Amino acid sequence: MSTSAQAKTIANLDQLAIATLKGLVIDAVQAANSGHPGMPLGMAEVACTLWTHHLRFDPAAPQWPDRDRFVLSAGHGSMLQYALLHLYGFDLPLDEIKQFRQLHSKTPGHPERGHTVGIETTTGPLGQGLANAVGMAIAQERLRANFGADLLDHRIWVIAGDGCMQEGVASEAASLAGHLGLGRLVVFYDSNHISIDGRTELTFTEDVGKRFEAYGWHVQHIDGHQVDQVEAAISVAKGQLGKPNFIVCDTTIGRGSPKMAGSHKVHGAPLGPDEVKATKLNIGLDPEQFFAIDPTVLAHLRSKNAARSADQLAWQARAQTTANGEALLAFLKPDRVAQLAAVQWPTQPVGTQLATRKCGERVLAALGVAVPQLFCGSADLGHSTFTILPNETYVQRDDFKGRNIYWGVREHGMGSVANGMACDGAHVPVISTFLVFHDYMRPAVRLAALMGLQVLFVYTHDSIFVGEDGPTHQPVETLGAMRMIPGLATLRPADLAETCAAYQVALQRTNAPTAMALTRQNLPELQRPDGMDPFAAFACGGYVLQEVADAAVVLVASGSEVHVAVAAAELLAAQGIAARVVSMPSIELFDAQDASYRAQVLPAGLPCVTVEAGSTLPWKRFAGARGACVGIDTFGASAPDKVLAKYFGLTADNVAAVAKAIVVG
């Protein structure tokens, strides 16, 4: 066959592959009677061109470290990605495509990391995927800088839509990406001018390309349906390594559908039986066949898989036979038990006063020596939250060796980008801000929990005791909200010993995120019973800190209120009332213990008085009908912390009075 004839054949196969992908999408959505066919039909040319000729992957080893990352930020178009995974040979059988959006299928409504092979991150909440991709790009640049360009040569490719561009989280992340010059990041913007309510011009008329140019991105504009333009744009993007790449793809949503192309009606609803057939006929498929795949197309799309596997195996050989490669592999799969055993945990004498945010600073300094995967930063609050690794540099453009980063005032972006770093699999991000600003990043925290990512969310200034800053900065309800996120452990340590234990717990939770709430104000180091292992006790979530004979009441507290409970117990003892003191730094960890342990700590026959400088709602079940909750169910106020403690009843005198009233009646 002549070269020109062969090229014509390949081009025809590429076009047939695009049509086949579209056919799978519309059949799966129609079978489910649910889904979003419009975006996949509009971006099929871009996706197939990328996957056939540029994306670096190996279906036989979907997790190999130097693979390209593909992120579908417009996750509602999930059938595009599922069809790609099946067609290119990943372990996603056609039967799973037929079970799109059905219970326990591998093809849920939006892509889920860890649930479906080849899915790098859970997407669907718009803008999150783009922000995750920025994190993957930062992670890649760090590994590249520290272990060598010959071992890390992959790129991060994103398909994002109009909704992503309207969400603030994407703007925060894109701004940071431009600042850092993440040249291995390429975003295809599916500019189809349609949202659920209608044309985007109803609300969204800015020039998005110019916005990204202002962020410092390299921007191109193409017709997303012209394969030659897609090819050319990708080639240009590969050569622009000094800036992240933004390719504006002018597309038609639902392209190929005779009646619905270009309409908001095709965004999130099946085409209907008649339009399915009409669309298939329009794009060159047999309208009477469903889930049909020409074997020639399948062979064509998978023809490079042997070479892809060879590429992956050659990489493995380099990694296993070079010093940098061995170091990289060790970095990617650390022995966390050995690392934690090597930590020189800080200590301080009983009674020593130190804020737990400062305790955290001491703990991170010790951990940084033993756990090189830690990567730290804050939302412009490094000298308030103290999440800085000492003797380490900051990541900046053209210098990614450091282990600290300036996130800027971008709480939501920080959380989502950190999630992307965790998805990449090498780093353990430690990110921080004030607790009240958790609400700015809650969607990212929720997704970290949904994905089971090891991200440490460190929150300081954790209560009304930030004082004069007032109710805008006093997170009275935030701890309760965080405790409601499935899979997230919220830890509120009371002193240095508990802060050490909190970090140990967080680093042992390799498949889940952890949130810490640390104080601005100083707290005393607590006295513990002789022989108590504070690490083991803390890991139970709640433990008896101070035992007494014939206890009449249990005082249960977390964080900065534990010392208040201890002082209240002393006042009660002077009045002849014996009070057990329980430190409960984590309700979630306590709930995970067996019933016998929980009953030992909180005997059913003893009334409980709970104490926390926040909403009482999470504590009411511990207090029960006989007990009481000392807390704050209103907003705070602007005043010095000691004034606020007295005003809101968060004093030893008040706690003792509440407990006494319960005991003596």
Cβ proximity of 260 and 282 under 8 Å: no
Cβ proximity of 120 and 155 under 8 Å: no
CB-neighbour burial class of residue 661 (10 A; exposed 0-12, middle 13-18, buried 19+): exposed
- Calculate the alpha carbon distances from 585 to 235, 497, 537 in Å: 53, 12, 10
DSSP state of 396: B
Give the three-class secondary structure for 81: helix
Cβ proximity of 127 and 111 under 8 Å: no
Residue matched to tokens 């008329």: 205
Nearest to 165 by CA among 70, 52, 248: 248
Q: Which two tokens stand for residue 19?
A: 């049509």
Name the phi and psi angles at 267, rounded to 5: -60, -55
- Calculate the alpha carbon distances from 378 to 130, 132, 382, 385, 394 in Å: 20, 17, 6, 7, 12
Q: Dihedral (C-alpha) 160, 161, 167, 169: value to the nearest 10 degrees? A: 0
The residues with which 124 forms a beta bridge, in sequence order, are none
What Rg value do the Cα atoms of the chain yield, rounded? 28
Residue 256 and residue 277: Cα distance in Å, rounded? 11
Residue matched to tokens 């301080």: 348
Name the phi and psi angles at 459, rounded to 5: -115, 130
Amino acid of residue 116: T
Amino acid of residue 355: A
Cβ proximity of 21 and 300 under 8 Å: no
Residue 492 and residue 502: Cα distance in Å, rounded? 8
Cβ proximity of 402 and 180 under 8 Å: no
DSSP state of 265: G
Residue 495 and residue 526: Cα distance in Å, rounded? 7
Neighbouring CB atoms inside 10 A of 436's CB total 21
Give the three-class secondary structure for 284: coil
Give the three-class secondary structure for 161: strand
Provide CB contacts within 8 A for 320, sequence distance 6+.
Answer: 326, 329
The helix-helix angle for 208-215 and 168-180 (nearest 10°) equals 40
DSSP string, 294-309: -HHHHHHHTTTHHHHH
Residue 204 and residue 171: Cα distance in Å, rounded? 14
Q: What residues are labeled active site?
A: 411
Cβ proximity of 517 and 560 under 8 Å: no
Expressed in angstroms, the distance from the first to the final Cα of the chain is 98
The residues with which 544 forms a beta bridge, in sequence order, are 582
Residue 231 and residue 552: Cα distance in Å, rounded? 76
